[in-house]
Amino acid sequence: MEIIYIDDSEFDRLAFKRLIKKMGLSSVTIMESLDELDSLNISGDSILIRDCYVPGKEPDYSGFIEVYYVSGSKLSPSLQSKLKIDTDHFYLKPIKEDDLESMIKGTSVKENDSSLDLSYLDELSDGDEDFKREMVKVFLKEVPDQIDVLLDAVKNQDFKKIAETIHALRTKIRTFGILSIDELSENLEYTAKTKSFDSWTKFESEVGYLTSELKKSATELENMI
């Protein structure tokens, strides 16, 4: 298995070299730019690990079994949406031995893969599983319709409706601890309410991220009941 690492930071390339030496890995290619990939013959079992902000043209990722993204800072929703990064394919730099091992195995060893923090619901239900199920059912019944209403409102640029719908979704986001979109939803509601868009395209893409996280949470909740 070939590992290809792309990073424009010399310091981070050195750190990665040191890590692979420590782990005794040999089939590793380290590059500075995405454009350098053109010169490589990619085999069907290569792993690509790349910095999120590395320069060069976004390549065609066919031929790689997995693509992992790394960055020195937390993954922002807009970047996640732009590069279509799965949260379990993102790692914070510096890359640790465990991180690299989990990338190679193709499985994440992160402690908690769940997108939900159900501590508030647990406090509320106090062990009453029926109550918990009832709450989940309300989520599953209402959220898909609210997503449709939101996407329609975005399509029609109906800012009042956008703000109202995101507001209605926020109580659910907080109740079910969907932390990845808690702050984002608040910002989106405020932006729609005050019509203070920096960029409409960015707003649309962030709404897209919000709805995809909600759908992901719905799938997770469906499996709970």
Q: Using CB under 8 A, pick the residue from 2, 164, 206, 213 that binds other proteins.
A: 164
Residue 68 vs residues 8, 99, 216: alpha-carbon distances, Å: 16, 10, 20
What are the DSSP calls for 84-133, one per residue? T--GGGEEESSPPHHHHHHHHHTS---S---S--THHHHHHHTT-HHHHH
Name which of residues 195 to 224 contact other proteins (CB under 8 A). none
Amino acid at 28: V
Stretch that binds other proteins, among 28-36, 41-49, 69-77, 125-133 (CB under 8 A): 125-133
Looking at beta carbons only, is 85 or 116 nearer to other proteins? 116
Based on the shown chain and the rule CB under 8 A, indicate whether residue 50 belongs to the binding site for other proteins: no
Would you say 114 and 37 are in contact if contact means Cβ atoms under 8 Å apart? no
Stretch that binds other proteins, among 28-36, 102-110, 128-136, 204-212 (CB under 8 A): 128-136
Based on the shown chain and the rule CB under 8 A, indicate whether residue 138 belongs to the binding site for other proteins: yes
Count the neighbouring beta carbons within 10 Å of the beta carbon of residue 222.
Answer: 11
Based on the shown chain and the rule CB under 8 A, indicate whether residue 133 belongs to the binding site for other proteins: no
Based on the shown chain and the rule CB under 8 A, indicate whether residue 130 belongs to the binding site for other proteins: no
Given the rule CB under 8 A, which residues bind other proteins?
Answer: 120, 123-126, 131, 134-135, 138-139, 142, 164, 167-168, 170-172, 174-175, 186, 190
